[in-house]
Amino acid sequence: MASREIVVAVAGATGAVGREMLKILEERKFPAKEIRPLASSRSAGSGVEFAGGELTVQELTEDSFKGVDIALFSAGGSVSEKFAPIAAQSGCVVVDNSSAWRMDDRAPLVVPEVNPQDLEKHNGIIANPNCSTIQMVVVLKPLHDAGTIKRVVVSTYQAVSGTGQKAIDELQGQVRDLFNMQDPRVNVYPHRIAFNCLPHIDVFLDNDYTKEEMKMVNETKKIMGDDSIRVTATTVRVPVFYGHSESINIETVKKISAKEARAILFQAPGVEVLDNPRENIYPMAINAAGEDATFVGRIREDDTIDNGLNLWVVADNLRKGAALNTIQIAEELISRDLVRVNDTSVFA
Amino acid sequence: MASREIVVAVAGATGAVGREMLKILEERKFPAKEIRPLASSRSAGSGVEFAGGELTVQELTEDSFKGVDIALFSAGGSVSEKFAPIAAQSGCVVVDNSSAWRMDDRAPLVVPEVNPQDLEKHNGIIANPNCSTIQMVVVLKPLHDAGTIKRVVVSTYQAVSGTGQKAIDELQGQVRDLFNMQDPRVNVYPHRIAFNCLPHIDVFLDNDYTKEEMKMVNETKKIMGDDSIRVTATTVRVPVFYGHSESINIETVKKISAKEARAILFQAPGVEVLDNPRENIYPMAINAAGEDATFVGRIREDDTIDNGLNLWVVADNLRKGAALNTIQIAEELISRDLVRVNDTSVFA
Q: pLDDT by residue (tens digit) across A162-186?
A: 999 899 999 999 999 999 999 999 9
Closest CA to B226 of B149, B311, B134: B149
| pLDDT interval class at A148 (50, 70, 90) | very high
A343 found inside a domain? no
B178 touches chain A (CB under 8 A): no
Closest residue, chain B, to A250 (C-alpha): B153
How many percent of chain A have pLDDT more than 70? Answer: 99
B49 found inside a domain? yes
When divided into structural domains, chain A yields a total of 3
- Separation in Å, CA of A72 to nearest CA in chain B: 30
Answer whether residue A268 shows pLDDT above 80. yes
φ and ψ at A256, to 5 degrees? -125, 120
pLDDT tens string A313-342: 999 999 999 999 999 999 999 999 999 999
A348 found inside a domain? no
Tell me whether residue B244 is one of the annotated catalytic residues.
yes
Question: Measured between beta carbons, which residues in chain B are less than 8 angstroms from residue A276?
Answer: none
- Whether residues B185 and B269 share a domain: the answer is no
A70-81: average pLDDT:
96
Residues of chain B short of pLDDT 50, as ranges, are: 1
**B285: nearest CB among A196, A232, A285:** A196
The reply to whether residue B199 touches residue A245, judged by beta carbons under 8 angstroms, is yes
A185 found inside a domain? yes
pLDDT tens string A150-165: 999 999 999 999 999 8
- Whether residues B288 and B235 share a domain: the answer is yes
- Whether residues A144 and A112 share a domain: the answer is no
- Whether residues B204 and B303 share a domain: the answer is yes
Residue that finishes a domain, picked among A174, A196, A218? A196
pLDDT tens string A112-139: 999 999 999 999 999 999 999 999 999 9
The reply to whether residue B249 touches residue A153, judged by beta carbons under 8 angstroms, is yes
In this prediction, residue B22 carries a pLDDT of: 97
The reply to whether residue B175 touches residue A175, judged by beta carbons under 8 angstroms, is yes
pLDDT tens string B3-17: 558 999 999 999 889
The answer to whether B304 is annotated as binding is no
Residue that finishes a domain, picked among A196, A213, A247? A196
- Whether residues B139 and B259 share a domain: the answer is yes
Give the separation between CA A244 and CA A238, rounded to whole angstroms: 9
A94-104: average pLDDT:
97
B262 touches chain A (CB under 8 A): no
**A304: nearest CB among B230, B234, B286:** B230
B189 found inside a domain? yes
In this prediction, residue B123 carries a pLDDT of: 96
The reply to whether residue A196 touches residue B258, judged by beta carbons under 8 angstroms, is no
B70 found inside a domain? yes
In this prediction, residue A281 carries a pLDDT of: 98
Q: SS3 string of chain B?
A: CCHHHCEEEEECCCCHHHHHHHHHHHHCCCCCCEEEEEECCCCCCCEEEECCEEEECEECCCCCCCCCCEEEECCCHHHHHHHHHHHHHCCCEEEECCCCCCCCCCCCECCCCCCHHHHHHCCCEEECCCHHHHHHHHHHHHHHHHHCEEEEEEEEEECHHHHCHHHHHHHHHHHHHHHCCCCCCCCCCCCCCCCCCECCCCCECCCCCEHHHHHHHHHHHHHHCCCCCEEEEECCECCCCCCEEEEEEEEECCCCCHHHHHHHHHCCCCEEECCEHHHCECCCHHHHCCCCCEEEEEEEEECCCCCEEEEEEEECCCHHHHHHHHHHHHHHHHHCCCCCCCCCCCCC
pTM: 0.96
| pLDDT interval class at A5 (50, 70, 90) | confident
The count of CB pairs under 8 A between chains A and B is 153
A88-103: average pLDDT:
97
Amino acid at position A191, single letter: H
Higher-pLDDT residue of A95 and A4 is A95
In this prediction, residue B4 carries a pLDDT of: 56
Give residue B120's domain range: 6-128+323-336
Whether the Cβ atoms of residue B341 and residue B82 lie closer than 8 Å to each other: no
- Whether residues B177 and B231 share a domain: the answer is no
- Whether residues A286 and A169 share a domain: the answer is no
Whether the Cβ atoms of residue A93 and residue A124 lie closer than 8 Å to each other: yes
Put simply, the chain A residues between 70 and 109 with a CB less than 8 A from any chain B CB are none
Q: CATH number for the domain including B106?
A: 3.40.50.720
Whether the Cβ atoms of residue A157 and residue A239 lie closer than 8 Å to each other: no
A346 found inside a domain? no
- Whether residues A147 and A191 share a domain: the answer is no
pLDDT tens string A172-226: 999 999 999 999 999 999 999 999 999 999 999 999 999 999 999 999 999 999 9
Closest CA to B60 of B76, B49, B318: B76
The answer to whether B164 is annotated as binding is no
**A200: nearest CB among B234, B240, B280:** B280
The reply to whether residue A283 touches residue B175, judged by beta carbons under 8 angstroms, is no
- Whether residues B184 and B279 share a domain: the answer is no
- Whether residues B227 and B141 share a domain: the answer is yes
A76 found inside a domain? yes
- Whether residues A138 and A277 share a domain: the answer is yes
Q: CATH number for the domain including A144?
A: 3.30.360.10
Tell me whether residue A200 is one of the annotated catalytic residues.
no
ipTM: 0.96
- Whether residues A112 and A53 share a domain: the answer is yes
Answer whether residue A3 shows pLDDT above 60. no
Question: Measured between beta carbons, which residues in chain B are less than 8 angstroms from residue A241?
Answer: 195
Residue A285 host element (H or E)? helix A285-288
| Rounded (5°) CA angle A293-A294-A300 | 140
Test mutation, A158, A232, A236, A316, chain B, max B CBs within 10 A? A232
**Alpha helix locations (H) across A164-257?**
165-179, 211-224
